[in-house]
Amino acid sequence: MDSAISLFTRSIAANQEVSKSYMMRAAAKIQLNELSSAYSDLDSSKRIDSLYYKLYYYYGRVSLLEKLYSTALRYFNKVISMNPNYPNAYDNRAIVKGIQNDYIGAINDENIAIQIDSTNEIFYCNRGFANLQLKKYDDAIKDCDIALRLEEDQKAYANRGTALAMKGMDSLAIRDFNKALTLLPNDPEIYYRRGLSYKSLNQKDKACLDFDKSARLGYLPAIQQKINCPSK
């Protein structure tokens, strides 16, 4: 990502009127969470060319990461009004709606994103999460199945594992949590959820090890579960 920033910086130095170079440098900075600097680049891009829809998509991404959800929603709405066939705008608007607990709205947006591009596993994964929140566990599992056929993804394994656990299929859930932890070894919530599945299977020692690991990583619900484990 640093090399991308250097590339776009050289492009800007050669021609300071290249709007997309500022925008793409901003996109690279967003990946590095350099949000203030990214916002400055977007402003520079906008001064040169304010009519490119992706510019407002990246404004929305910065606003989303800064937790300015109403602002992010406004930007993603603007992108969709400018280009109704850009699937990432629907996906990111769905993320905002999910944060605002509008999971039905999130699913509707992911449906549109998938209709435009059925090959992006993230859209299925995010729709699966919304279905999970609505307790539509079978739909969540189907979405995660599709996502994982397209590409191995930690969130899809975690979401499918949670849905399986909620259906009482804890052994299968543990397999998914194991795969999720292979991809992201220090996710405290996954340790916690795997611990709950071990607990449901009466494998108390394994459950307590997971609750301890989760608590050490700072996940507060695990601390309450850990109270019931024997002290060492």
Does 219 map to a domain? yes
Q: Which range is least confidently modeled, 5-19, 47-61, 106-120, 208-222?
A: 5-19
Q: Tens digits of per-residue pLDDT, 93-104?
A: 999 999 999 999
Does 65 map to a domain? no
Q: Tens digits of per-residue pLDDT, 153-167?
A: 999 999 999 999 999
* pTM, entire model: 0.88
- For the beta carbon of residue 2, count every other beta carbon within 10 angstroms: 8
> Number of folded domains in the chain?
1
Q: CA 218 to CA 187: how far, in whole Å? A: 10
Binned at pLDDT 50, 70 and 90, residue 14 comes out as very low
Judging by beta carbons within 10 Å of its beta carbon (0-12, 13-18, 19+), is residue 230 exposed, middle or buried? exposed
Instruction: Identify the residue with better confidence: 227 or 180.
Output: 180
Please choose, from the candidates 51, 4, 50, 48, the residue with its C-alpha nearest in 3D space to the C-alpha of residue 24: 4
The whole-number average pLDDT for the span 55-68 is: 97
The whole-number average pLDDT for the span 139-163 is: 97
Does 229 map to a domain? yes
Does 135 map to a domain? no
Q: What is the pLDDT of residue 13?
A: 47
Does 226 map to a domain? yes
Please choose, from the candidates 111, 75, 115, 116, the residue with its C-alpha nearest in 3D space to the C-alpha of residue 94: 111
DSSP state of 82: H
Does 170 map to a domain? no
Tokens of residue 62, six digits: 């910065």
Q: Please give the residue range of the domain that contains residue 191.
A: 187-232
Binned at pLDDT 50, 70 and 90, residue 33 comes out as very high
Does 182 map to a domain? no
Does 204 map to a domain? yes
Average pLDDT value for the chain: 92
Query: Is 206's pLDDT higher than 80?
Result: yes
